[in-house]
Protein backbone atom coordinates (compact mmCIF):
# COMPACT_ATOMS: atom_id res chain seq x y z
CA UNK A 1 0.00 0.00 0.00
CA UNK A 2 1.21 3.45 -0.86
CA UNK A 3 2.96 5.05 2.13
CA UNK A 4 1.85 8.46 0.93
CA UNK A 5 -1.75 7.37 1.32
CA UNK A 6 -3.55 10.09 3.30
CA UNK A 7 -3.97 9.36 7.00
CA UNK A 8 -7.74 8.92 6.75
CA UNK A 9 -9.52 6.83 4.14
CA UNK A 10 -13.30 7.04 3.93
CA UNK A 11 -15.08 4.34 1.93
CA UNK A 12 -18.44 5.22 0.44
CA UNK A 13 -20.54 3.77 -2.37
CA UNK A 14 -23.63 1.83 -3.24
CA UNK A 15 -24.73 -0.70 -0.67
CA UNK A 16 -23.40 -4.12 -1.52
CA UNK A 17 -20.48 -2.64 -3.46
CA UNK A 18 -17.97 -4.16 -1.03
CA UNK A 19 -17.12 -1.29 1.34
CA UNK A 20 -16.96 -3.42 4.48
CA UNK A 21 -14.76 -6.13 2.99
CA UNK A 22 -12.43 -3.50 1.55
CA UNK A 23 -12.37 -1.61 4.85
CA UNK A 24 -11.25 -4.72 6.69
CA UNK A 25 -8.69 -5.45 4.01
CA UNK A 26 -7.32 -1.89 3.97
CA UNK A 27 -7.14 -1.73 7.77
CA UNK A 28 -5.27 -5.05 7.98
CA UNK A 29 -2.81 -3.92 5.31
CA UNK A 30 -2.25 -0.59 7.06
CA UNK A 31 -1.59 -2.44 10.31
CA UNK A 32 1.26 -4.33 8.64
CA UNK A 33 3.20 -1.06 8.28
CA UNK A 34 1.73 1.39 10.75
CA UNK A 35 0.64 1.83 14.32
CA UNK A 36 -1.79 2.98 15.51
CA UNK A 37 -4.49 1.96 13.01
CA UNK A 38 -8.24 2.23 13.49
CA UNK A 39 -11.32 1.08 11.61
CA UNK A 40 -14.48 3.07 12.26
CA UNK A 41 -17.62 1.26 11.16
CA UNK A 42 -20.29 3.98 10.90
CA UNK A 43 -22.78 1.83 8.99
CA UNK A 44 -26.18 2.41 10.57
CA UNK A 45 -28.15 1.08 7.60
CA UNK A 46 -27.15 -2.52 7.06
CA UNK A 47 -28.14 -5.06 9.73
CA UNK A 48 -25.82 -7.89 8.59
CA UNK A 49 -22.31 -8.18 7.12
CA UNK A 50 -20.81 -5.17 8.89
CA UNK A 51 -17.05 -4.79 9.36
CA UNK A 52 -17.42 -4.68 13.19
CA UNK A 53 -18.40 -8.38 13.03
CA UNK A 54 -14.70 -9.05 12.48
CA UNK A 55 -13.60 -7.11 15.56
CA UNK A 56 -11.65 -10.09 16.95
CA UNK A 57 -9.62 -10.54 13.74
CA UNK A 58 -8.92 -6.82 13.45
CA UNK A 59 -7.92 -6.39 17.08
CA UNK A 60 -5.63 -9.40 16.82
CA UNK A 61 -3.78 -7.50 14.09
CA UNK A 62 -3.61 -4.34 16.17
CA UNK A 63 -6.53 -2.48 14.59
CA UNK A 64 -8.72 -0.50 16.97
CA UNK A 65 -12.38 -1.04 16.04
CA UNK A 66 -14.88 1.74 16.61
CA UNK A 67 -18.57 1.03 16.07
CA UNK A 68 -21.82 1.59 17.91
CA UNK A 69 -21.93 3.02 21.41
CA UNK A 70 -24.69 0.55 22.26
CA UNK A 71 -22.15 -2.22 22.47
CA UNK A 72 -23.42 -5.13 20.37
CA UNK A 73 -21.46 -5.95 17.23
CA UNK A 74 -24.25 -8.15 15.88
CA UNK A 75 -27.96 -7.96 16.31
CA UNK A 76 -28.60 -4.24 16.67
CA UNK A 77 -29.73 -1.95 13.88
CA UNK A 78 -29.82 1.29 15.86
CA UNK A 79 -28.58 4.58 14.38
CA UNK A 80 -25.85 4.87 17.02
CA UNK A 81 -22.19 5.71 16.37
CA UNK A 82 -19.70 5.83 19.22
CA UNK A 83 -18.21 9.27 19.99
CA UNK A 84 -14.94 7.36 20.21
CA UNK A 85 -14.63 8.08 16.49
CA UNK A 86 -13.48 11.61 17.33
CA UNK A 87 -10.26 10.29 18.87
CA UNK A 88 -8.52 8.99 15.72
CA UNK A 89 -9.87 11.88 13.65
CA UNK A 90 -8.35 14.44 16.04
CA UNK A 91 -5.09 12.89 17.17
CA UNK A 92 -3.27 13.57 13.92
CA UNK A 93 -1.45 10.23 13.90
CA UNK A 94 -3.86 7.23 13.80
CA UNK A 95 -4.21 5.81 10.32
CA UNK A 96 -7.96 5.39 10.03
CA UNK A 97 -10.33 3.63 7.67
CA UNK A 98 -13.94 4.76 7.87
CA UNK A 99 -16.51 2.26 6.59
CA UNK A 100 -19.70 4.18 5.87
CA UNK A 101 -23.14 2.78 5.21
CA UNK A 102 -24.28 2.28 1.65
CA UNK A 103 -25.91 4.82 -0.62
CA UNK A 104 -26.53 8.48 0.26
CA UNK A 105 -28.63 7.36 3.25
CA UNK A 106 -25.64 5.53 4.73
CA UNK A 107 -23.24 8.33 3.85
CA UNK A 108 -25.38 10.91 5.64
CA UNK A 109 -23.79 9.86 8.94
CA UNK A 110 -20.49 11.28 7.66
CA UNK A 111 -22.02 14.75 7.55
CA UNK A 112 -21.82 14.97 11.34
CA UNK A 113 -18.02 14.60 11.23
CA UNK A 114 -17.36 16.46 8.00
CA UNK A 115 -15.73 19.47 9.64
CA UNK A 116 -13.21 17.23 11.35
CA UNK A 117 -11.78 15.94 8.09
CA UNK A 118 -8.74 17.85 6.88
CA UNK A 119 -8.88 17.49 3.08
CA UNK A 120 -5.05 17.34 2.97
CA UNK A 121 -5.03 14.12 4.96
CA UNK A 122 -8.30 12.55 3.84
CA UNK A 123 -9.10 10.32 0.91
CA UNK A 124 -12.81 9.77 0.23
CA UNK A 125 -13.18 6.80 -2.08
CA UNK A 126 -16.28 5.59 -3.88
CA UNK A 127 -16.45 1.80 -4.23
CA UNK A 128 -17.93 0.67 -7.54
CA UNK A 129 -19.15 -2.80 -8.48
CA UNK A 130 -20.76 -2.64 -11.90
CA UNK A 131 -22.23 -6.14 -11.36
CA UNK A 132 -24.62 -4.39 -8.96
CA UNK A 133 -27.61 -3.44 -11.13
CA UNK A 134 -27.97 0.05 -9.61
CA UNK A 135 -24.39 1.02 -10.53
CA UNK A 136 -24.00 -0.80 -13.83
CA UNK A 137 -23.29 2.28 -15.97
CA UNK A 138 -21.01 5.31 -15.76
CA UNK A 139 -24.07 7.54 -15.66
CA UNK A 140 -25.49 5.66 -12.64
CA UNK A 141 -22.13 5.74 -10.85
CA UNK A 142 -21.80 9.50 -11.36
CA UNK A 143 -25.35 10.01 -10.05
CA UNK A 144 -24.40 7.92 -7.01
CA UNK A 145 -21.24 9.99 -6.44
CA UNK A 146 -23.21 13.26 -6.66
CA UNK A 147 -25.85 11.99 -4.24
CA UNK A 148 -23.26 10.71 -1.74
CA UNK A 149 -21.38 14.03 -1.87
CA UNK A 150 -24.60 15.92 -1.32
CA UNK A 151 -25.65 13.75 1.64
CA UNK A 152 -22.24 13.62 3.33
CA UNK A 153 -20.92 17.09 2.60
CA UNK A 154 -17.62 15.45 1.60
CA UNK A 155 -15.89 15.59 -1.75
CA UNK A 156 -15.07 12.21 -3.24
CA UNK A 157 -11.42 12.04 -4.25
CA UNK A 158 -11.07 8.67 -5.94
CA UNK A 159 -12.64 5.44 -7.16
CA UNK A 160 -12.21 1.77 -6.34
CA UNK A 161 -13.14 -0.61 -9.13
CA UNK A 162 -14.50 -3.48 -7.05
CA UNK A 163 -16.40 -5.28 -9.77
CA UNK A 164 -16.90 -8.93 -8.92
CA UNK A 165 -19.43 -11.78 -8.73
CA UNK A 166 -17.82 -13.41 -5.68
CA UNK A 167 -16.33 -16.82 -6.55
CA UNK A 168 -17.92 -16.62 -10.00
CA UNK A 169 -15.88 -13.56 -11.03
CA UNK A 170 -14.18 -13.75 -14.39
CA UNK A 171 -11.55 -11.46 -15.82
CA UNK A 172 -14.18 -10.01 -18.14
CA UNK A 173 -16.11 -8.72 -15.11
CA UNK A 174 -13.07 -6.85 -13.78
CA UNK A 175 -12.47 -5.45 -17.27
CA UNK A 176 -16.10 -4.36 -17.63
CA UNK A 177 -15.77 -2.60 -14.27
CA UNK A 178 -12.58 -0.96 -15.47
CA UNK A 179 -14.32 0.29 -18.61
CA UNK A 180 -17.11 1.92 -16.60
CA UNK A 181 -14.70 3.37 -14.03
CA UNK A 182 -12.49 4.80 -16.79
CA UNK A 183 -15.48 6.65 -18.25
CA UNK A 184 -16.40 7.92 -14.76
CA UNK A 185 -12.78 8.95 -14.24
CA UNK A 186 -12.70 10.80 -17.54
CA UNK A 187 -15.90 12.67 -16.84
CA UNK A 188 -15.20 13.51 -13.18
CA UNK A 189 -11.43 13.71 -13.06
CA UNK A 190 -11.39 11.19 -10.20
CA UNK A 191 -8.48 8.73 -10.25
CA UNK A 192 -9.05 4.97 -9.99
CA UNK A 193 -7.13 4.37 -6.78
CA UNK A 194 -7.57 0.60 -6.33
CA UNK A 195 -8.96 -2.43 -8.13
CA UNK A 196 -10.44 -5.17 -5.96
CA UNK A 197 -9.45 -8.63 -7.16
CA UNK A 198 -10.89 -11.94 -5.95
CA UNK A 199 -8.22 -14.38 -4.88
CA UNK A 200 -8.72 -16.84 -7.74
CA UNK A 201 -7.96 -14.07 -10.27
CA UNK A 202 -4.97 -12.66 -8.43
CA UNK A 203 -2.39 -14.18 -10.76
CA UNK A 204 -4.30 -13.73 -14.01
CA UNK A 205 -5.35 -10.11 -13.70
CA UNK A 206 -5.02 -8.55 -17.16
CA UNK A 207 -2.61 -5.71 -17.74
CA UNK A 208 -4.21 -2.40 -18.54
CA UNK A 209 -6.68 -2.46 -15.65
CA UNK A 210 -6.34 0.76 -13.68
CA UNK A 211 -5.72 1.01 -9.94
CA UNK A 212 -3.47 -0.66 -7.43
CA UNK A 213 -4.68 -4.28 -7.08
CA UNK A 214 -6.02 -5.15 -3.65
CA UNK A 215 -7.22 -8.67 -2.82
CA UNK A 216 -10.89 -9.23 -1.97
CA UNK A 217 -10.42 -11.66 0.89
CA UNK A 218 -14.11 -12.19 1.80
CA UNK A 219 -13.50 -11.95 5.53
CA UNK A 220 -17.24 -11.52 6.14
CA UNK A 221 -18.32 -14.67 4.31
CA UNK A 222 -18.28 -18.09 5.95
CA UNK A 223 -17.12 -21.17 4.04
CA UNK A 224 -20.74 -22.30 3.50
CA UNK A 225 -21.53 -19.06 1.68
CA UNK A 226 -19.38 -20.10 -1.28
CA UNK A 227 -21.65 -19.59 -4.28
CA UNK A 228 -20.03 -21.95 -6.76
Partner 1 sequence: MDKVLMKGNEAIAQAAIHGGCRYFFGYPITPQNEIPEYMAREMPKAGGVFLQAESEVAAINMVYGAAGAGARVMTSSSSPGIALKQEGFSYIVGSEVPCVIVNIMRGGPGLGGIQPSQADYYQATRGGGNGDYNMIVFAPANIQEAADLTAEAFEIADYYRNPVMILGDGMIGQMMEPVLFRETPKRAIEPKTWATTGTGGTREPNIITSLHLDPADLEKHNLHLQQKYARMRRNETRYEYFEIEDAEFVFVSYGTASRIVRNAIIELRQSGIRAGMIRPITVWPFPQTAFDQLGTQVRAVMAVELSCGQMVDDVHIAVRGRWPVGFHGRSGGMIPTQREIVEACTALLEEVT
| Residues found near partner 1 in the complex (CB under 8 A) | 16, 46-49, 74-77, 129-133, 136, 164-166, 168, 172-173, 176, 221-225, 227
The residue (of 154 and 181) whose beta carbon lies closer to partner 1 is 181
Phi, psi of 121 (to 5 degrees): -120, 20
The residue (of 53 and 123) whose beta carbon lies closer to partner 1 is 53
- CB of residue 28 to partner 1, shortest distance in Å: 21
Helix (H, G, I), strand (E, B) or coil at 227: coil
The residue (of 21 and 123) whose beta carbon lies closer to partner 1 is 21
- CB of residue 106 to partner 1, shortest distance in Å: 12
- CB of residue 53 to partner 1, shortest distance in Å: 11
- CB of residue 227 to partner 1, shortest distance in Å: 4
- CB of residue 1 to partner 1, shortest distance in Å: 26
Residues 6+ apart with CB under 8 A from 171: 201, 204, 205, 206
The residue (of 111 and 172) whose beta carbon lies closer to partner 1 is 172
Phi, psi of 90 (to 5 degrees): -95, -25
DSSP 145-195: HHHHHHHH-PPP-EEEE---BTBT--HHHHHHHHHHHHHHHHHH---EEEE
Question: How far is Cα 110 from Cα 97, in angstroms, rounded to an integer?
Answer: 13
Helix (H, G, I), strand (E, B) or coil at 41: strand
**Environment class of 207 (CB within 10 Å of its CB; exposed 0-12, middle 13-18, buried 19+):** exposed
- CB of residue 174 to partner 1, shortest distance in Å: 11
- Continuous segment of H or E residues that includes residue 49: none
Amino acid sequence: MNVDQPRITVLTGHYGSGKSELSIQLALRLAEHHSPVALADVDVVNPYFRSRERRALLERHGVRVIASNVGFDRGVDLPAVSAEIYAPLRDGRTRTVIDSGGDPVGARVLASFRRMFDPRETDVLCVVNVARPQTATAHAVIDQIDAIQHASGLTITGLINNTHLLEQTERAHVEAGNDVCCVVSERTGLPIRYVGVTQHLWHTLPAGVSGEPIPIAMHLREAWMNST
